[in-house]
Amino acid sequence: MFKLSVKLLLAVFLFSSCAPTYPKDRLLDDVKKLVKKESGQDCKLVKIEDTFYLDMEMKGLTSSNTKVVSDAVMSLQNAVFAITRVALSSDADIKIMVITAYDPSYNVSLRMFQNIDDVKGYFYQRISRGDYEQRQLLEFEGPEMAEKAVNDKHHITQEEYVARLTISQINMIGRKNPVLTPLINALELRFGYITDGTIYLSSKDSDNIGTEDLLKKIISDEIVKNLQKYKLFSIKSVILLDSKGSVIFEVPVTSN
């Protein structure tokens, strides 16, 4: 439901193939106007280095009415199309976009990350459609973490993007594979931080780790695959922490 459709992305790309139409000196005002026009929603914008944040408050996200929720999701998608179009047709330095929808009481937040190089790579046929769709990054948060997620604004490096993408993909495995669902869903994996070539992930509870060797393999397979895709070679290991910050295990990152 949250994938950017090929036809709409093609329209975005063709629209942005000419000279820049969104100069960086008026970028924020232009984005606000375009998002309002395309989605009907007001938004808040923050740009930190080459990371661009767009936040939208949506009451419909927690509605029990299916149509209201569907309309909210459509507004979010329209905002994604709009900001992607801007990023591709601006002289501003934008590499990572984070589009966040949340309800007024912060009961839920939905964040969609977009890597501009992935969009360009797809249309220049450097990556396939299937590969492009696998690079879509979504993060859902409930009442405990939604407000923190919305307020978290910082420069996102390519290494952090890959780490978050890996977690998103592992969580997707948990939703698609009934055998792994209890293990992965119980962990509630989240990105922590990166330092000295090590990615730190957090887990809800070390008692729910289950089969450690299996989880290590899942993390290793996904992180190595993504690091190779993005040609990042600075990451040497992944460490999983429990809710108290204690080390559960470490996974060395090897290209073989």
Q: What is the 3-state secondary structure (H, E, C) of the chain?
A: CCCCCHHHHHHHHHHCCCCCCECHHHHHHHHHHHHHHHHCCCCEEEEECCEEEEEEECHHHHCCCHHHHHHHHHHHHHHHHHHHHHHHCECCCCCEEEEEEECCCCCCEEEEEEEHHHHHHHHCCCCCHHHHHHCCEEEEECCCCHHHHHHCCCCCCHHHHHHHHHHHHHHHHHHHCCCCHHHHHHHCCEEEEEECCEEEEECCCHHHCCCHHHHHHHHHHHHHHHHHHCCCCCCCEEEEECCCCCEEEEEECCCC
Indicate the pTM of the whole model.
0.86
Going from the C-alpha of 17 to that of each of 3, 125, 137, 143, 203, the distances in angstroms are 22, 15, 25, 41, 43
In CATH, the number for domain 6-154 is 3.10.310
CATH code 3.30.70 region(s) in the chain? 159-252
Both structure tokens of 14: 């063709």
CATH topology of domain 159-252: Alpha-Beta Plaits (3.30.70)
Sign of the CA dihedral running 148, 153, 171, 130 = positive
Name the more confident of 153 and 82: 153
| pLDDT classification of 209: cutoffs 50, 70, 90 | low
User: What pLDDT digit, counting tens, does each position of 152-174 carry?
Assistant: 999 999 999 999 999 999 988 87
User: What pLDDT digit, counting tens, does each position of 133-143 carry?
Assistant: 888 888 989 99
| 163 within 8 A of 149, measured Cβ to Cβ | no
**Residue 242 carries which side chain, given as an amino acid letter?**
D
CATH code 3.10.310 region(s) in the chain? 6-154
Name the more confident of 146 and 72: 146
| Mean pLDDT in residue range 33-41 | 86
pLDDT in the model for residue 76: 82
